[in-house]
Structure 1
């Protein structure tokens, strides 16, 4: 490890599992002290219990908070400063995925509920975390690193709700990079698909579904990315988070997003259109406007 984060203090939302846990573990390996935040106390404690003895008590802490709760996030920031004396880096990472639920697979009521739930976690959760942390980050000339997605730039990385949310987070990176300059840098990392325990919205009954199950089902098959022989474990996506948190390595960088997507941005997607099946869904009622015959 490089030791680039020696003495850094970081708070990581969604730090009890998946990518958030991997980032926290990498930060500690690089010399940082970390507070992981999540809504599942048992999961947070299990994550810390799994850490090596020489760092478990000295450089790890956890705080139970829902990222939709501003008071809880402020308390998490206060607890971080009380435990480690300061805050250098906020990693806004907690999120859910919509499992590519397309517009045509959701009723209006389901769409409304999914939108409210997913945006409240994936967008409002980032904004509230930044609001809770910015004062401490100003004091340390710190930084915010947000987890974005290939869906922040391209279609078909999720359904319309997830894609819209991740595009919104791209806007947050850019706006907050302007608003918090010159004291606080704000950047993002846009990973592609990985083998992680990312869950879905309870609004459509996907709160217990995990991406990991899909990876297990498709084990051995080539991923649809140019670097299909590379690992897709969360730990392999963490280097960009280290770079952006390391003041000496990325001091002039703000308002930028590093894509770590295995090349999906250069590959594109195999299907030329996402709606080739739509006529089958409504064919009983569709007619050719010129002839009046079924289309």
Structure 2
């Protein structure tokens, strides 16, 4: 019997990348899973792969109505909700402040925070009643950027630090009825996209293969990037009801040891003086 036998989960951004791996692992552990995702095509692929164990809802995590509809779809289909996994996100591809175009700062900031932070808050709001009823849990995907610089630029890093604060505040507010925790993965080769407001909507993290290989080989102490599937055990741990009774407000730094070593080059190699047109 799987560790999540009989449980029902909802995963946002669950039709690709790490989210897809979480869905696959949860189903393998005995759970039934709802998925909120913008892509009808990818959701159809999930239905074909997992059949009746998965139900999909097309929507945008930035809309409370879409989050509510996803929760309703899950409860109507499976009768309950035990775990919310907030996972949908976008990256800024490490764009430093000096390289942020003046006309893109507002749009980039709004998009990063609307998806990475507000999307989690809205999902929590939508799922609150059924999770209180089941004495369930929330799990939010953070990042090594939630603890350390250089996992993204100032927009992404600030958004992931905000997620850590959100986890702690919700753990405080929702105790003892709902446990709230986070998983902070390190580098990962997935279809995670950049922010449209920064002109990066069609760029995926997997496309910067040379940089990922360097990160895995030279920066990550374990010597390689973990696969998406290798990150999913942490989500199963937090979702399970056996060993995690005392656990709320916790964030697992699950980054392959990056936090122990740190990033190799300060300021990412950017020549700030030159870019600002200053003289030394």
Tell me the TM-score normalized by structure 2. Answer: 0.95
Where do residues 141-160 of structure 1 align in structure 2 (5 Å cutoff)? Answer: 141-160=135-154
- For 1:150 and 1:218, how far apart are their aligned partners in 2? 14
Whether 1:14 and 2:9 are equivalent positions in the alignment is no
Within-5 A mapping of 1:97-176 = 97-176=91-170
Deviation at 1:37, TM superposition (A): 1.0
Contact 2:9-2:81 at 8 Å conserved across structures: yes
1:37 & 1:119 partners in 2: Cα distance?
18
RMSD: 1.7
Offset of residue 273 of structure 1 = 4.2
The Cα of 1:275 is off from its aligned counterpart by 7.0
> In the aligned structure 2, how far is the partner of 1:96 from the partner of 1:281?
26
Contact 1:17–1:47 under 8 Å retained in 2: no
- For 1:218 and 1:266, the matched residues in 2 are separated by 19
Q: Does 1:68 find its partner at 2:67?
A: no
Q: CA 1:194–1:218 in 2, change beyond 3 Å: closer, same or farther?
A: closer
Going from structure 1 to structure 2, the CA distance change for 1:159 and 1:121 (only over 3 Å counts) comes to: same
Number of aligned residues: 279
Contact 2:219 2:262 in 1 (8 A): no
SS of equivalent to 2:4: coil
* Secondary structure of the corresponding residue to residue 222 of structure 1: helix
Following superposition, the deviation at residue 64 of structure 1 comes to: 0.7
Based on CA coordinates, which of the two structures has the bigger radius of gyration?
Answer: 1
Q: Is 1:228–2:227 an aligned residue pair?
A: no
CA distance in 2, matches of 1:179, 1:282: 45
Closer, same or farther: CA 257–217 of 1 in aligned 2, 3 Å: closer
For residues 1-295 of structure 1, what are the structure 2 equivalents within 5 Å? 3-51=2-50, 56-57=51-52, 59-215=53-209, 222-229=217-224, 231-274=225-268, 277-283=271-277, 285-286=278-279, 295=280
- Tell me if the contact between 2:93 and 2:152 (Cα under 8 Å) persists in the aligned partners: yes
| In structure 2, distance between residues paired with 1:130 and 1:30 | 23
More helix by share: 2
Deviation at 1:24, TM superposition (A): 0.7
Q: Which runs of 5+ in 1 are unaligned?
A: 287-294
